[in-house]
Amino acid sequence: MTTTVDICRYRSDKKGAWDAFVKTSKNATFLHYRDFMEYHADRFTDHSLMMGVDGDLVAILPACEEQGVLKSHAGLTYGGILTGPKMTAERMLFIVETLLQYLRDNGFDSFQYKPAPHIYHAQPAEEDIYAMHRFAGVVTRVDVSSTINMLDPLPWSTLRKRGVKKARKAGLMTVETREYAPVWDILEENLSSKHGARPTHTLAEIVYLARTFPDTIRLFNAMKNDKVLGAIVVFDCGQVAHAQYITSNEEGRDLGALDYLTNSLLTEHFASRRWFDFGISTTDQGRNLNSGLARQKEMFGARTILYQHYQLEA
């Protein structure tokens, strides 16, 4: 029996239905709620899609358009086709086949796709990866991220353990706070001086997002005498705690502030999570590995998972 898939473009009056689907999806996180996606709506032309079968919403796709290309939303680290628990491999093939026809009907030349890595799945959800293969999708980018298996963690290096002891001896404390300004001063200085870059989020943006998602965007500081020496901003994605920003000043580096802070997060604040993801250590579309950065994360017992990008021609 042929499955008929209906695809429509997201509209603001569908926000309730979209967010309700995200809440029960097997591969979505809080990044896919519309309030998160739209904090930088002025930077992108949204072209998100909602897909139904027999009147039931079965999948959604956070997306934007740019010069004849439909993209997994460029303002998100990952997205892909977000599905519910009833999604099957066969149904996904019908969805992607219909999506390709939608691209042709709407003047798109190609589709750039970035699925959520498997660690973010509440249930197995790689039907889309198989569909990419079936419809001749090409891998165009692979980023290396370093992740700790919290159920069976690997041992830390001696150097990282020493850092924790040094910080404890110096009297550092872990403090959760909502005061982002002092941290952004350190973060912006480090990114500018070392990489000629700026944080993905401005101070105003991260403050807005943290107020909007107070239970899932959390800031932890390593403090000494009320002074911020290091900080980690964590995006709490359910079974994954993702370190969105990691930074310290010179004194913090000397005293092992990030070793101490990471230990606090792993053993106390996020000990019940399935994974702790430090984020990617690659640049230039995944072609260059920052070996030193990857090594630092691996010294905490983290190992590699991949953030992959695909392209389908219409």
Helices (H), the chain: 15-24, 34-37, 89-105, 127-134, 158-169, 181-195, 203-212, 250-255, 257-264, 291-298
Taking only the tens of pLDDT, the chain with its 314 residues reads: 567 999 999 999 999 999 999 999 999 999 999 999 999 899 999 999 999 998 899 999 999 999 999 999 999 999 999 999 999 999 999 999 999 999 999 999 999 999 999 999 999 999 999 999 999 999 999 999 999 999 999 999 999 999 999 999 999 999 999 999 999 999 999 998 887 889 999 999 999 999 999 999 999 999 999 999 999 999 999 999 999 999 999 999 999 999 999 999 999 999 999 999 999 999 999 999 999 999 999 999 999 999 999 999 99
Sheet with 5-9: list strands edge to edge.
5-9, 49-53, 56-61, 82-83
Q: What pLDDT does 2 receive?
A: 63
Cα distance between residue 10 and residue 38, in whole Å: 13
Cα distance between residue 31 and residue 51, in whole Å: 19
Q: What pLDDT does 1 receive?
A: 53
For the chain, give every residue range classified as CATH 3.40.630.30. 5-136, 147-306
Q: What pLDDT does 197 receive?
A: 85
CATH number of 147-306: 3.40.630.30
How many CB atoms sit inside 10 A of residue 193's CB? 9
CATH number of 5-136: 3.40.630.30
